Structure 1
Amino acid sequence: MAARIITPLAIICAAAAIIFVIFQMRKPPEKQEVERPVLMVSTAPIVRNEEGLIFHVDGVVVPYREINLSSEVAGRITYRDDSLRSGAYVTKGQPLLEIDPRKYALEVERLSKEVEQAEVAIRETDVDVENTQELILLSKQNLELQKKQLARMESLLARNATTPSAVDSEQQTMITAQNQLLQLENQVRSFATRKQGLQRAKELAEARLEQAKLDFENTKVVSPVNGVIITDDVEQDSYVQVGTALYTIEDTSAAEVRCSLRMDELAWLWRKQLGKTIDPLAARGSKDYLLPQVPVAVSYELAGRTYQWDGVLSRFDGLGLDERTRTAPVLIRVPNPDQAKLNGEMVKSRGPSALLRGMFVDVKVQVQPEMPIWRVPESALSLYSAQAIQETMTAGQAAKTRTHSDESRPRFVLWLVRDGKLEIEHVEVLVIQDDYALINGENVDLRADDQIVISPMGYPRVGLPVKVEG
């Protein structure tokens, strides 16, 4: 019984020993290093942008001025140029219509006679004053004689050569001469007062005459500007009152384009105006509500051709932001709306003759900030969360970013290839346009010979060896 148990155990132990010996006799496999594949990336060069920032916004052409002509006098329309209807072009000073001028001509003539009559009355007063002055001179001479005569009579009375009654008679004669002189002097003062009244009456008549002449001139209605008639509201033989609408004329000496700019775009314009890159809201002054007069280009596409006009950023269209779009409405002034350019040359026959109201146009605003700007492909940008950015930053980069970055903007990074390895640079994107991004060159370590990674990468990290395709 014991042998039946021991025999299998011995066989098992012998087999285990044989297997152990066999494993001990086998040579261990040789270790071989596996070559990991190098990450292949596509790159693009970084380019220094010399054109500055360019904003493209949509706009619509609006009238520069619309002039409402109203009747300044009442009367019947006796003449109207029937060819000057809505849509007709008129020049400055061109006659449009005439209101019956006869009543106003008669009023001018009547008031002219009143002015002449006032002048005659003033001349008569001057003659009366001259005559009275001569009488005063004679009266003074007579008074002197009476004084001498009275003195002689008093001398005779002292010698008892005459009677007191004779002396009294001479005194009465002298008093009469004095009274006559005083009356003449009073007449001169009265004439001066009357002359002032006549002069005031003449001035009033002259003012009425000027008003009558103005009314007579206003019977002829002419175009105040070069422009196009928008509406014509009266016909010949119609009777019009003062203030009756006659015409509405659009001034074509200039045109305006209404468009809207975002606040970040306005910020660059204000920074350019201030001459330094600081928060524009920190600057205060008398020009807070004015826009810098920045040149802009207005373009309109027609039949595959793009026509351009030169304009300038003029002013805000009102004040405040649009509540729906949160943009600021502005107006672009085009001083020469009839001078279109094609490829930089003036054209007249092959394109639109002028900017017309209602045209939808493209507005190009160009700003040259006081900072270096780099241009990179949009595909080179990587949008990172704030936590991921902080994890990839050194202490110095994090401090620099906190100091100079705009927290309201998305946080972007660029991956660069330097010496065959990946490096990261945290950047501020100013604007993205035409598949390119413009980068703020301040406080970033970018070089003209840098190669920017534009191909997608799974898990990039700083220092990872890479190989540039091609």
Structure 2
Amino acid sequence: GLALAWGLLGGEEDVGRRAPPERSARLVEVVPAVPRSHTVSVTAWGEVLPARRLDLRPRVSGRVMALGDGFEPGTVVSAGTPLLRLDPQDYRLALERARSALTRAKADLALEQGRQAVARREFELLGEDVEDAERGLILRQPQLQTAQAAVTSAEADLSDARLDLERTTIEAPFDALVLARDVSPGTEVSASSTLAELVGVDTWWVELQVPAGALRWIRFPDEGGAGSPVTLSYQGVWPEGTTRAGRVLRLRGDLADQGRLARVLVAVEDPLARGDEAAGRPRLLLGAFMQAEIAGRSLDGAVAMEPQWLHAGDTVWIMNDAGELEIRPVEVAYRDTRRVLVTGGIGRGERIVTSQLSAPVAGMPLRAAPADGGDRASGD
């Protein structure tokens, strides 16, 4: 009985001294951190707007006699192209009246110059000494000045009449796309009538709405040098991979969406792809809502990661040299929906855990899955 009791006591002592079972290491995927220089790319969306827009109005009134060839909505007209012609008959008559008035004024001036010559000879024969004011009256200076002024006024009236006649032919003031035409032959128009809506075709704008916090990554021309290059795409309309190039023009200076989004204007040259440089590129459409990728400033010494590798409180899971999990806070310099750029808290070559852990605890053992040649934490 004693031997059995002693044996039982000894057995209990052996059990108490037994080492606890080892914790099994979790298999995780890791990528090494590679700090390098990255160009911050800001994604934004915005509407296509005309940089130059005009409601075309006549300088004179009258009836529309004829429309120019191609003066239709959707057509592009060159600067100086005749768009329409008003009835010129009234303005031709006005021009003839102005010419006649100038002829009369010149004749009256000639007659007055003759009268002045006679008055001067008569005054010299008298040889009288008079005041300067009286001398001017005797020599008919006021009458001569009146006649000269009448000639000047008649010449101006003639110039006005010529201009009015020229203005009955209305031309495109610049290379333009006709958005709307509001008149037809027979329409009576005045100086307040809108004939057409034109927009310039040299440059259009895309007004992007950009998070205010992302403005510091965008280069603006007023800072010296060119603005940030922009790549535009029209999802669902243009073929996949088809883009147009633009460049940041300026910051509008006001905010949209209750003060959270800034308005940035992007200039796109030759938006209708009429020139050789844009040959084969798609045309922009006014009012289209486009996606833009703004190539911003460079960020040196940053580790780029996928957003899901960043956890609560801007922390990253690191597998240290002992094969244990570290939950490490990091400094995030930039983030968007596709990547996060980290500039502090991670050293070159440290292993970033990319697998999702259900209950991560600092110090838990890990083992790295064999590398399969996948992406590195570098930023692309």
- TM range, normalised to the smaller chain? 0.7 to 0.9
Q: What residue is the counterpart of 1:22 in the other structure?
A: 4
Structure 1 unaligned spans of 5+: 1-17, 141-177, 276-291, 385-411
Q: Distance in 2 between matches of 1:97 and 1:104?
A: 16
Once the 2 structures are TM-superposed, how far is the Cα of residue 116 of structure 1 from its aligned partner? 3.9
SS at structure 2 position matched to 1:433: coil
RMSD (Å), alpha carbons: 3.5
Q: What residue is the counterpart of 1:417 in the other structure?
A: 319
Once the 2 structures are TM-superposed, how far is the Cα of residue 45 of structure 1 from its aligned partner? 2.4
Alpha-carbon displacement from aligned partner over 1:51-85 (angstroms, at most 9, x marks no partner) = 42212222332333332222322222222236533
Letter aligned with residue 57 of structure 2: S
Letter aligned with residue 147 of structure 2: L
The alpha-carbon distance between structure 1 residues 274 and 242, as it changes in their structure 2 partners (threshold 3 A), is: closer
Q: What residue is the counterpart of 2:294 in the other structure?
A: 365
The 5 A counterparts of 1:297-316 are 297-301=231-235, 302=237, 304-315=239-250
The alpha-carbon distance between structure 1 residues 234 and 378, as it changes in their structure 2 partners (threshold 3 A), is: closer
Aligned residues: 358
The alpha-carbon distance between structure 1 residues 327 and 183, as it changes in their structure 2 partners (threshold 3 A), is: closer
Q: Which has the higher helix share?
A: 1
- Give the conservation status (yes or no) of the 8 Å contact 1:132–1:184: no
**Which of 156, 163, 174 is equivalent to 1:225?**
174
- Give the conservation status (yes or no) of the 8 Å contact 2:82–2:171: yes
- Give the conservation status (yes or no) of the 8 Å contact 1:52–1:373: no
- Give the conservation status (yes or no) of the 8 Å contact 2:56–2:194: yes
Tell me if 1:186 matches 2:134.
yes
Structure 2 unaligned spans of 5+: 371-380
SS at structure 2 position matched to 1:103: helix
- Give the conservation status (yes or no) of the 8 Å contact 1:40–1:468: yes
The 5 A counterparts of 1:123-138 are 123-130=110-117, 132-138=119-125
- Give the conservation status (yes or no) of the 8 Å contact 2:67–2:85: yes
- Give the conservation status (yes or no) of the 8 Å contact 2:57–2:196: yes
Once the 2 structures are TM-superposed, how far is the Cα of residue 32 of structure 1 from its aligned partner? 4.2
**Which of 452, 456, 466 is equivalent to 2:356?**
456
Once the 2 structures are TM-superposed, how far is the Cα of residue 337 of structure 1 from its aligned partner? 0.8
Letter aligned with residue 22 of structure 1: L
Letter aligned with residue 91 of structure 2: Y
**Which of 272, 277, 298 is equivalent to 1:338?**
272
Tell me if 1:269 matches 2:218.
yes
Q: Distance in 1 between matches of 2:274 and 2:348?
A: 39
SS at structure 2 position matched to 1:249: strand
The 5 A counterparts of 1:400-439 are 412-420=314-322, 421-423=324-326, 424-428=328-332, 430-434=334-338, 436-439=339-342
Q: Which has the higher strand share?
A: 2
Tell me if 1:197 matches 2:101.
no
The alpha-carbon distance between structure 1 residues 216 and 49, as it changes in their structure 2 partners (threshold 3 A), is: farther
Once the 2 structures are TM-superposed, how far is the Cα of residue 216 of structure 1 from its aligned partner? 0.9
TM-score (norm 2): 0.79
- Give the conservation status (yes or no) of the 8 Å contact 2:221–2:249: no
- Give the conservation status (yes or no) of the 8 Å contact 1:272–1:370: no
Q: Distance in 1 between matches of 2:158 and 2:263?
A: 49
Q: Distance in 2 between matches of 1:273 and 1:132?
A: 70
Q: Distance in 2 between matches of 1:455 and 1:339?
A: 47
Tell me if 1:255 matches 2:204.
yes
Q: Distance in 2 between matches of 1:272 and 1:415?
A: 41
The alpha-carbon distance between structure 1 residues 448 and 340, as it changes in their structure 2 partners (threshold 3 A), is: farther
Alpha-carbon displacement from aligned partner over 1:228-285 (angstroms, at most 9, x marks no partner) = 322222222333333222222232222222331122123443899779xxxxxxxxxx
The 5 A counterparts of 1:35-50 are 35-48=22-35, 50=37
Tell me if 1:111 matches 2:45.
no
Q: What residue is the counterpart of 1:446 in the other structure?
A: 346
**Which of 69, 73, 78 is equivalent to 2:60?**
73
- Give the conservation status (yes or no) of the 8 Å contact 1:298–1:308: yes
Higher relative CO (CA 8 A, sep ≥ 6), structure 1 or 2?
2
TM-score (norm 1): 0.66
Letter aligned with residue 448 of structure 1: R
Once the 2 structures are TM-superposed, how far is the Cα of residue 417 of structure 1 from its aligned partner? 3.1
Letter aligned with residue 207 of structure 1: A
- Give the conservation status (yes or no) of the 8 Å contact 2:253–2:262: no
Q: Distance in 2 between matches of 1:336 and 1:419?
A: 57
Once the 2 structures are TM-superposed, how far is the Cα of residue 358 of structure 1 from its aligned partner? 3.4
The 5 A counterparts of 1:373-412 are 373-384=302-313, 412=314
Alpha-carbon displacement from aligned partner over 1:387-431 (angstroms, at most 9, x marks no partner) = xxxxxxxxxxxxxxxxxxxxxxxxx01232342344424222511
Q: What residue is the counterpart of 2:155 in the other structure?
A: 206
Structure showing greater radius of gyration is: 1
Q: Distance in 2 between matches of 1:340 and 1:210?
A: 39
- Give the conservation status (yes or no) of the 8 Å contact 1:74–1:240: yes
The alpha-carbon distance between structure 1 residues 268 and 356, as it changes in their structure 2 partners (threshold 3 A), is: same
Q: Distance in 1 between matches of 2:213 and 2:221?
A: 13
Once the 2 structures are TM-superposed, how far is the Cα of residue 207 of structure 1 from its aligned partner? 2.8
SS at structure 1 position matched to 2:100: helix
Tell me if 1:469 matches 2:372.
no
Q: Distance in 1 between matches of 2:214 and 2:5?
A: 78
